[in-house]
Amino acid sequence: MKEWVLPIVMASLGSLAFSMFFGVRSKKLIYSAIGGAINWGVYLVFMEIGVMEPLAYAIGAAAGTLYAEIVARIAKTPVTVFIITSVIPMVPGGSLYYTMLGLMQGNHEVFAEKGAYTLAAAGAMALGIFTATMLFRTTLALINGAKRIRH
Amino acid sequence: MLDKEIQNVFTEILNIGEHMLRAGGEVYRVEDTISRLICAYGGKKPHVFAIPSNIIVTATFEGNEITHTRRVPSAEINFEILDRMNDLARRVCHEKPNAGELKQMVENALTLKKYGHAGKMFIYALVSFSFAMFFGGSFADAAVSAVIGVLLYPATQMINSQRSVQGNIIFIDILCAAISAFFACLAVRVGIAHDADKIIIGNVMLLIPGVELVNGMRDFIAGDIQAGMMHVFEALFLAICIAIGAAGVLTLMGVIL
């Protein structure tokens, strides 16, 4: 449990810092920080119960996106603001760096391994965002449709 | 011939779209907003096409067709402006102010409090610190990364003030990655920090094109394949630039060898 605290806090702080980086002020900063924590927390939970890593990545990104879609409607802010700041800990910056380092070193084993990991992570992240957006919007449309029929 | 009023309103509508696109708005949002605004002002058949660098709008006002094109300069992500423009567009659709008022409203939305130099330096430090630690660095690594982050802000400002390379993000990324790698190696040599890679990763997160990558993916979802390809390719290209800057210096410093 204890080893989870630091990554989640740092993911949250990173999301907060990034939304400041993109000029966000006011209480929206706190929404972003919570988004980062949810994103990485869900990822860690699914890693713990033994899900494959890319799938855990996708589920984490989906959780972050779902949260962003809800918060965007509460804060009346374009959803992209919260999706990007929530999902930023998932952007495979670390493995991308090692991939390129491997290439420059001429270490093709590292390049291939880290490169495949980076691609899988970025793809899984995209898949998670995609699925969550589609599910959320479809559900919302269905609910709105049901309301219209009742009235 | 169309009257001046409609011409002016049309120009302001495009301004709103341009600001949204530059501030980091998705292509579908920009297209949708412009269409709604045109319809609110009584325009018929709005045809809007946007990619990250260009907006083309054609609409019919009182039987006259009108077309505007806008070259959009490279993005300057600011979510506060995006949020304000989004709000503004929603309000304008209800209130339908005249051209003069609309111009004033757009200008008001653009005058916002930005973080000052000290604030920006703090943000650079905070991003570097949290991601250096997030990717497994020790506290010392993260602290060194934060200090380098503070140095990177004046570096980007200096490059931006040079007329010949103004706003050239490729140049900025290569140079910042190189500076970061240089000082990270130095810190490890001196013995303050332990892991140069973690320090550099913290700084690299400042440069990484996260908005382009995520927005590109979301463009694909929305069906804007062209815009998506432009965004994702830009992200990939910048990532390569960052890697060249960092890895080049690392090789020279002999850490790799």
Q: Where are the beta strands (DSSP E) in A12-150?
A: none
The backbone torsions φ and ψ at residue B74, rounded to the nearest 5 degrees and listed phi first, read -60, 150
For A42, A75, A106, B74, the CA distances from A125, given in Å and listed in that order, are 13, 24, 28, 25
Q: Beta strands B64-71 and B44-51: pairing type?
A: unpaired
Query: In terms of domains, do B176 and B102 share one?
Result: no
Quote the Cα angle for B236-B54-B225, to 5°: 50
Query: In terms of domains, do B121 and B248 share one?
Result: yes
Query: In terms of domains, do B85 and B133 share one?
Result: no
CA distance B25 to B55: 13
Query: In terms of domains, do B105 and B181 share one?
Result: no
Query: In terms of domains, do B123 and B248 share one?
Result: yes
CB contact under 8 A, B77 and A22: yes
Q: Is B206 on the interface with A (CB under 8 A)?
A: yes
Q: Which residue is closest to B142 within chain A, CA to CA?
A: A10
First to last CA, chain B: 72
Q: In terms of pLDDT, which residue wins out, B80 or A2?
A: B80
Q: Does pLDDT of B168 surpass 80?
A: no
Computed on alpha carbons and rounded to an integer, the radius of gyration of chain A in Å comes to: 17
pLDDT score at B2: 67
ipTM of the complex: 0.85
Domain boundary among B88, B110, B132: B110
Nearest to A133, CA basis, from B24, B214, B102:
B214
Query: In terms of domains, do B96 and B178 share one?
Result: no
Query: In terms of domains, do B147 and B40 share one?
Result: no
Q: Does pLDDT of B255 surpass 70?
A: no
pLDDT over 70, % of chain B: 96
CB-nearest to A80 from B218, B243, B247 is B218
Query: In terms of domains, do B105 and B32 share one?
Result: yes
B4: closest CA of chain A, how far (Å)? 32
Query: In terms of domains, do B137 and B237 share one?
Result: yes
Q: Show the tokens assigned to A137.
A: 């919007």
Residues 77-106 of B with CB under 8 A from A: 77-83, 86-87
DSSP string for A6-46: HHHHHHHHHHHHHHHHTT--TTHHHHHHHHHHHHHHHHHHH
pLDDT score at B167: 64
Nearest to B83, CA basis, from B147, B150, B24:
B24
Q: Which residues of A105-142 are buried (b: 16+ CB within 10 A; e: fewer)?
A: eeeeeebeebbebbebbbebbbbbbbbbbeebeeeeee
Query: In terms of domains, do B171 and B89 share one?
Result: no
Instruction: Identify the H or E element spanning A121.
Output: helix A108-150
Other beta carbons less than 10 A from residue B145's beta carbon: 33
Q: Is A78 on the interface with B (CB under 8 A)?
A: yes
Q: Show the tokens assigned to A133.
A: 């957006």
B159: closest CA of chain A, how far (Å)? 18
pTM score, whole prediction: 0.85
Domain boundary among B62, B89, B110: B110
CA distance A38 to A95: 22
pLDDT score at B257: 47
pLDDT digits (tens, 9 = 90+) for A54-99: 888 899 999 999 999 999 888 888 888 888 888 888 887 788 888 8
Computed on alpha carbons and rounded to an integer, the radius of gyration of chain B in Å comes to: 22
- Rounded to 10°, the helix B225-253/B196-207 angle is 150
Domain boundary among B76, B110, B144: B110
pLDDT over 90, % of chain B: 3
pLDDT band at B166 (very low <50, low <70, confident <90, very high): low
CA distance B92 to B173: 39
Quote the Cα angle for B235-B239-B243, to 5°: 175
* Range(s) of the domain holding residue B19: 4-110
Q: Cβ contacts (< 8 Å) between B208 and chain A: which residues?
A: 91, 93, 96
For every residue of chain B, which 3-state class applies, written as one string?
CCCHHHHHHHHHHHHHHHHHHHHCCCHHHHHHHHHHHHHHCCCEEEEEEEECCEEEEEEEECCEEEEEEEECCCCCCCHHHHHHHHHHHHHHHHHCCCHHHHHHHHHHHHCCCCCCHHHHHHHHHHHHHHHHHHCCCCHHHHHHHHHHHHHHHHHHHHHHHCHHHCCCHHHHHHHHHHHHHHHHHHHHHHCCCCCHHHHHHHHHHHHCCHHHHHHHHHHHHHCCHHHHHHHHHHHHHHHHHHHHHHHHHHHHHCCCC
Q: Dihedral sign, CA of A8, A57, A123, B79? A: negative
pLDDT digits (tens, 9 = 90+) for A11-63: 888 888 888 888 888 888 888 889 889 988 898 888 888 888 888 889 999 99
Tell me the sheet residues that pair with B57.
B48, B68
Mean pLDDT taken over chain A: 85
Q: Show the tokens assigned to B151.
A: 């140095």
As for how many domains chain B has, the answer is 2
Query: In terms of domains, do B127 and B76 share one?
Result: no
Query: In terms of domains, do B55 and B75 share one?
Result: yes
pLDDT digits (tens, 9 = 90+) for B73-125: 877 888 888 888 888 888 888 888 887 888 888 888 888 777 888 888 898 99
Mean pLDDT taken over chain B: 84
CA dihedral of residues A130, A136, A140, A142 (deg, nearest 10): 80
Size of interface A-B (CB pairs under 8 A): 143
pLDDT digits (tens, 9 = 90+) for A105-126: 788 888 898 888 888 888 888 8
pLDDT band at B1 (very low <50, low <70, confident <90, very high): low
